[in-house]
Amino acid sequence: MTVKLKHTSATTALSITPLIDVVFLLLIFFLVTTRFEKTDREMEFPLPSASEAQPVTEEPTEMFINIDQEGHYFVGGQMRTADQVEAMLQQAHTNNPLTQSVILRADKRVPLDYVVVVANLCNKVGIHNYTINTDGE
């Protein structure tokens, strides 16, 4: 004898509660990681423009060194001396000797000497993959 089961609305409905939980967890994860990526780019000052600059297509994982109008060095949002920048570059090169890269962001009104000091420090510790970021207009 065949048993016939009645399909009720409870057995045919799909529970979406776990799906909503996963979506909210992913949303929180992406919000938190996005916030951490923006800390090095928060300093606002005018950058010099370059006619041949190419736009960045993906988020880099480089070390950012910002130089303000007075020639102060900022790494990770904190003001550093040249000796501290050198120690941080040496540590970064020790941690990642083959692919460590540095992006220098200097105010367009800063004397070139301050940018050259950081470029020289990069060469001194062995980091040859450094770029000077421009406005790109």
At residue 116, does pLDDT exceed 90? Answer: yes
Q: How many CA atoms lie within 13 A of 130 on its CB side?
A: 25
pLDDT at 60: 43
Q: How far apart (Å, rounded) are the C-alpha atoms in residues 134 and 63?
A: 16
DSSP 40: G
Bigger pLDDT: 38 vs 94: 94
Residue 48 phi/psi, 5-degree rounding, is -70, 155
Where does the pLDDT of residue 98 fall: very low under 50, low under 70, confident under 90, or very high at 90 and above? confident
pLDDT, tens digit (0-9, with 9 covering 90-100), for 20-76: 999 999 999 888 777 665 666 666 777 777 777 665 444 446 899 999 989 999 998
CA 75, distance to chain mean position in Å, is 12
Domain-wise residue ranges, the chain: 39-133
Q: Which CATH architecture has domain 39-133?
A: 2-Layer Sandwich (3.30)
CA angle 89, 91, 95 (to 5 degrees): 115
User: Average model confidence (pLDDT) for the chain?
Assistant: 81
Confidence (pLDDT) at 17: 87
Share of the chain above pLDDT 70, in %: 77
Which one has a higher pLDDT value, 6 or 94?
Answer: 94
Give which of 102, 106, 100, 109 is closest to 66, Cα–Cα: 106
